[in-house]
Structure 1
Amino acid sequence: MDNERRASGEPTFDDVVRIPSTADATWGDPESVVGTALIEDVARLAGVAPITVSRAIRQPGKVSAEKRERIRLAISQTGYKTNPHASALRSGRTNIVLAFVSNLFSQQFALAVRGCAQVLEKAGYQFLVGQTSYSYSKETAIIQSLQALKPAAVMFTGVIELERNRESLRSLDIPIMETWAYPRDPIDLLVGFSNTDAGRMAANHLADRGYRRVAYIGRRGGRGALRLKGFREVCAERGLDFKCEIVCDEVESVSDGRRSLARLFDQTNDIDAVFCANDLLAIGALMEARRRKLTVPSDLAIIGFGENDMAGELSPGLTTIAIDSFALGQFAGEMLMQRLSGEPVDHPARHVELTLIERGSA
């Protein structure tokens, strides 16, 4: 199926991990998921559907007094944000749109949020930003707090993997925007791109330039795993020798890339190219290569992902797989604005094109 999509020019769907509600929610996360009650727990105790709890909190006039009282008692008994929700039963929805980015240090996420805010703020919405830090526990705590915050809409620079969190977001009955991946089954609205194709594009570029012994630096989960999947697929298809994978789950600066390339050379010197699944990592790797007196790209080719401002300023410039992050944010804002205005969204999933920007590093 994916081969047919690629042959027709369509993007490859990302096989995003879906973690069932019954599974250990700490999977892949260094922190345990917050153990407070969910809206489903309140609904079960009150004997109503989760959407009824949501309506009682945001639009109490649409729920009978008898059901509102049962819900209020259930909130109190479960400890489900008791005080905020008790007051929320008497109030309506705000004009706040919340955006949660995976990493506040990311220039690409900042551009996307700016593009989205530009659209929504013109219509009088307030746009607030928080951070999930690639953490299931933080993501869960944030999603549980949304009932109290009562936003008009929510945007994520990523897609939600935990099924309980997906269910909770659906029950809010507000527009939910996911981005930065291209799954088959978004919660609601989606503006994304295929991370799998990004990895494939990187490997094809290296193969076309004659590199044969390659490595990868990036996250082991989420979008990093999808980029690695596509990269390894093309390595196998085109006979590239995949030598090593260096995991870097937290990326805050170019120093993470410098350390990661140093770790890579601690494991093997027998490589001629490396794909970094984040431009900060790639820039750091380029700096470390220069520190080691390596000539880029003849001794070592480096290709990144994301298109950071520094990518074209370094010598040699960084070859990277790029997306127009600002345009992605604008598309997201326009789709959210349609939904908030009560207009139908004919195509709730939109794909953003990937572009290879070739410079001197690969």
Structure 2
Amino acid sequence: MSDPTKPTYDDVVRIPAPPGRGPATGRPPRIEEVAERAGVAPITVSRVLRHPEKVNRETRDRILEVIETTGYASNPHARALRSGRSNVVVAFVSNILSQQFGLAVRSLAAALEPEGYEVLVGQTSYSYAKEVAMIQSLRGIRPAAVMFTGVIELQENRAALQELGIPVIETWAFPRDPIDMLVGFSNADAGAMAAERLAQAGHRRLAFIGRSSGRGALRRDGFRAAATRLGLEIVHEIGVGEITGLVDGRAAFTALLDRGNRASAVFCANDLLATGALIEARSRGISVPRDLALLGFGDNDVADQITPGLTTITFNAAAIGRAAGELLLARLAGTPQIEPRHAVELVLLERGSV
């Protein structure tokens, strides 16, 4: 089995900006810069934003024109950060329905809230377009720090986050080059563990269901590499785009059967996909694991309650959030730098579907 004390680095894809579009970088303008360009004192800019009726029309229009041109944002969180008192930490989750992501964010909040910080949550839905929009929104919010349940692949987003000059924590993977801090696990090792477990159970012809990009692709690649090493054959791979719920797992399993499934075991590289696949198998009268074995990744309450329980590779999601919170508190308190990269151990939960 893979060595849990020495996680394999994930070869995370780095995606350059599309031709003709530069990186979404640039520090948001300060009120002093707006004032200088408008030829007024900073207090006058503040007065226009708070009490515009107290400023003559010509000066007010000139200041508003500069604000529109520069994209200056004034809100309580931005003012708080400029004065060194921002208490907002933003957590972006890939899917708000995921139990693992929820556990991580709750543990993050449990670590931060007693110290006076607020945690705001946004959802990227595994969408690059949403990720771009949300990261750009940080320029207006100007939080104290940000956490992602994933790693950032778009180079323009990596640059934009670095330009913000705030602590950034990426999770759910183990790349060589995180933006800042990292609490994660090796997706390559997770895929390898899946192939090793299925081989141990005597399966030689396998299938894969998972996202065709991002962390799903990393697990698929680890699964492929281990299958080749062990002399196993992957007869089908079902790629999935956005994952919204169990229905996606049922649809992917149906697509597998429509191809004339010749596998004796399936690795589903996502807990929602695996649980949906198990439900669909039961609805079709397919006995698991007698007719077909199913191995999942991640974990949720449904996987433990349905019969047979879903065997899955998982990890301590709460520990990810807790470690992220501790790293952020140390950085925000200005304490000496501690190790910014933490690996979480992968665990195999045996429940009967293999």
Which TM-score band (shorter chain)?
0.7 to 0.9
Helix, strand or coil for the counterpart of 1:303?
Answer: strand
Q: CA–CA distance in 1 between the matches of 2:336 and 2:158? A: 22
1:354 aligned residue: 346
Residue 67 of structure 1 deviates from its aligned partner by 8.5
User: Residues 162-311 of structure 1: matches in 2 within 5 Å?
Assistant: 162-311=154-303
Q: CA–CA distance in 1 between the matches of 2:295 and 2:4? A: 26
Are residues 284 and 148 of structure 1, via their aligned partners in 2, closer, same or farther at CA, if it must alter by over 3 Å?
Answer: same
Contact 2:78–2:143 (8 Å) recurs in 1: no
Helix, strand or coil for the counterpart of 2:257?
Answer: helix
Contact 2:185–2:343 (8 Å) recurs in 1: yes
User: Residues 68-87 of structure 1: matches in 2 within 5 Å?
Assistant: 76=66, 79=69, 81-84=71-74
Residue 20 (structure 1) aligned with residue 12 (structure 2): no
Residue 20 of structure 1 deviates from its aligned partner by 2.1
1:150 aligned residue: 142
1:291-335 residue CA offsets vs partner (Å, 9 max, x unmatched)? 222221121000001111122211111100011101110000000
Helix, strand or coil for the counterpart of 1:178?
Answer: strand
Q: CA–CA distance in 2 between the matches of 1:309 and 1:361? A: 15
Are residues 139 and 78 of structure 1, via their aligned partners in 2, closer, same or farther at CA, if it must alter by over 3 Å?
Answer: farther
Q: CA–CA distance in 2 between the matches of 1:14 and 1:174? A: 24
Residue 269 of structure 1 deviates from its aligned partner by 2.5
Partner AA of 2:260 in structure 1? T
User: Residues 39-78 of structure 1: matches in 2 within 5 Å?
Assistant: 39-40=25-26, 50=27, 53=28, 56=30, 76=66
Residue 163 of structure 1 deviates from its aligned partner by 1.1
Residue 97 (structure 1) aligned with residue 92 (structure 2): no
2:335 aligned residue: 343
Q: CA–CA distance in 1 between the matches of 2:3 and 2:191? A: 17
Q: CA–CA distance in 1 between the matches of 2:248 and 2:257? A: 14
Residue 341 of structure 1 deviates from its aligned partner by 0.6
Helix, strand or coil for the counterpart of 1:235?
Answer: helix
1:47 aligned residue: none
Helix, strand or coil for the counterpart of 2:312?
Answer: strand
Contact 1:12–1:194 (8 Å) recurs in 2: yes
Are residues 11 and 68 of structure 1, via their aligned partners in 2, closer, same or farther at CA, if it must alter by over 3 Å?
Answer: farther
Helix, strand or coil for the counterpart of 1:315?
Answer: coil
Helix, strand or coil for the counterpart of 1:211?
Answer: coil
Helix, strand or coil for the counterpart of 1:344?
Answer: coil
Helix, strand or coil for the counterpart of 2:262?
Answer: coil
Residue 99 of structure 1 deviates from its aligned partner by 0.5
Contact 1:335–1:345 (8 Å) recurs in 2: no
Partner AA of 1:251 in structure 2? I
Q: CA–CA distance in 1 between the matches of 2:37 and 2:66? A: 14
Q: CA–CA distance in 2 between the matches of 1:114 and 1:235? A: 36
Contact 1:317–1:360 (8 Å) recurs in 2: yes
Are residues 39 and 329 of structure 1, via their aligned partners in 2, closer, same or farther at CA, if it must alter by over 3 Å?
Answer: same
Helix, strand or coil for the counterpart of 1:105?
Answer: coil
Are residues 173 and 313 of structure 1, via their aligned partners in 2, closer, same or farther at CA, if it must alter by over 3 Å?
Answer: same
Residue 79 of structure 1 deviates from its aligned partner by 4.6
The match for 2:125 among 128, 133, 136 is: 133
- The percent of aligned pairs where both chains have the same amino acid is 53
Q: CA–CA distance in 2 between the matches of 1:213 and 1:317? A: 22
Unaligned 5+ segments in structure 1 are 1-5, 26-34, 41-49
Contact 1:204–1:234 (8 Å) recurs in 2: yes
Are residues 125 and 292 of structure 1, via their aligned partners in 2, closer, same or farther at CA, if it must alter by over 3 Å?
Answer: same
TM-score (norm 1): 0.83
Residue 80 of structure 1 deviates from its aligned partner by 5.3
RMSD: 3.0
Partner AA of 2:246 in structure 1? V
Contact 1:13–1:196 (8 Å) recurs in 2: yes
Contact 1:273–1:302 (8 Å) recurs in 2: yes
Are residues 271 and 118 of structure 1, via their aligned partners in 2, closer, same or farther at CA, if it must alter by over 3 Å?
Answer: same
Contact 2:4–2:345 (8 Å) recurs in 1: no
